[in-house]
């Protein structure tokens, strides 16, 4: 599995925040002209470690469809109302390319999806989001072009369900240490910075954070996450990096999309 440099994964940008996928799941989704359901899952790229889509549960509105929302469409996140605003109209979402709920997301579908919304394709360049490091519609600044990391966007898909991986045990080099409960993501780039792990009795039941750069691979066949750390490594760093839970800002803020 492709791994990112630790500094890229563990240090958010100055004007970004880390959001917990666990806390976001279940949030209401509000289009420009009305509610469309709630956030039921995230699909992430496990080679580049970035959220590519939010999955919307639309209830009785668009039954049988897998409704995907790219971070390009994300607007304000209201923590008090637990609502993520989507900068699309309901008709736009309804008329978007359809994919059955049980089908995998193919590159062919993504081409149709991105063409429909007229968004820049993330696989068309060598940055995390194609031509830049963020899911925006304007060209990146020259200094970003000069300092960005190059990515190889493979045609074979690496999109995985965050909800499915939650619960996977963490396997250190000398044994298992707990299980994944969620991810911490940069709310501007939607890069996954850290995995949040419930260590159980091994570390007094507290949640700890493991940088995504320390993940060697995710074994979907064995349903586990393999990291390049020992239990002692994690215990030593956990003394200074215990993840807080339920501590979110009560004010609304913008998710730049």
- The domains found in the chain, sorted by start residue, are 10-158 (3.90.50.10), 162-238 (2.30.30.240)
Q: Cα separations (Å) of 226 from 156, 166, 171, 196? A: 21, 14, 5, 14
The token pair at 7 is 């500094």
pLDDT the model gives residue 142: 54
Contacts of 158 (CB under 8 A, 6+ apart): 45, 46, 47, 48
pLDDT digits (tens, 9 = 90+) for 74-86: 999 898 999 999 9
Residue 236 pLDDT class (50, 70, 90 cuts): confident
pLDDT digits (tens, 9 = 90+) for 110-154: 999 999 999 988 888 778 888 788 887 655 455 544 444 554 445
Q: Is the pLDDT score of 103 beyond 90?
A: no
Q: Is the pLDDT score of 201 beyond 90?
A: no
Q: How far apart are CA 53 and CA 50, in angstroms?
A: 9
pLDDT digits (tens, 9 = 90+) for 187-199: 889 999 999 988 7
pLDDT digits (tens, 9 = 90+) for 6-61: 333 333 444 568 999 999 999 999 999 999 999 999 999 998 999 999 999 999 99
The token pair at 138 is 């304007």
What's the whole-number average pLDDT of the chain? 80
- 3-state secondary structure string, 90-114? HHHHHCCCCCECCCCCCHHHHHHHH
Q: Cα separations (Å) of 192 from 129, 133, 183? A: 13, 13, 7
């Amino acid at each position: 599995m492709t791994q990112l440099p630790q500094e890229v994964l563990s240090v958010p940008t100055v004007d970004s925040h880390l959001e917990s996928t666990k806390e976001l799941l279940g949030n209401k989704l509000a289009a420009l002209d009305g509610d469309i359901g709630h956030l039921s899952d995230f699909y992430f790229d496990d080679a580049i470690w970035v959220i590519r889509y939010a999955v919307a549960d639309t209830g009785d509105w668009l039954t049988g469809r897998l409704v995907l929302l790219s971070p390009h469409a994300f607007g304000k996140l209201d923590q008090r109302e637990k609502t993520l605003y989507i900068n699309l109209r309901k008709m736009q979402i309804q008329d978007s390319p359809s994919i059955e709920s049980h089908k995998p997301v193919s590159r062919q579908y993504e081409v149709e999806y991105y063409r429909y919304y007229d968004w820049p394709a993330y696989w068309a360049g060598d940055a995390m989001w194609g031509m830049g490091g963020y899911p925006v519609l304007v060209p990146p600044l020259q200094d970003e072009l000069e300092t960005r990391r190059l990515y190889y966007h493979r045609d074979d898909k690496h999109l995985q369900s965050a909800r499915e991986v939650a619960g996977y045990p963490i396997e250190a080099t000398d044994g298992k240490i707990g299980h994944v409960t969620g991810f911490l993501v940069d709310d501007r780039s939607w890069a996954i910075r850290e995995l949040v792990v419930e260590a159980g009795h091994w570390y007094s039941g507290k949640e700890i954070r493991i940088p995504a750069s320390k993940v060697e691979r995710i074994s979907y066949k064995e349903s586990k996450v393999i990291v390049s750390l020992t239990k002692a490594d994690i215990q030593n760093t956990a003394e200074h990096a215990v993840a807080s839970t339920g501590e979110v800002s009560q004010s609304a803020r913008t998710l730049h999309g």
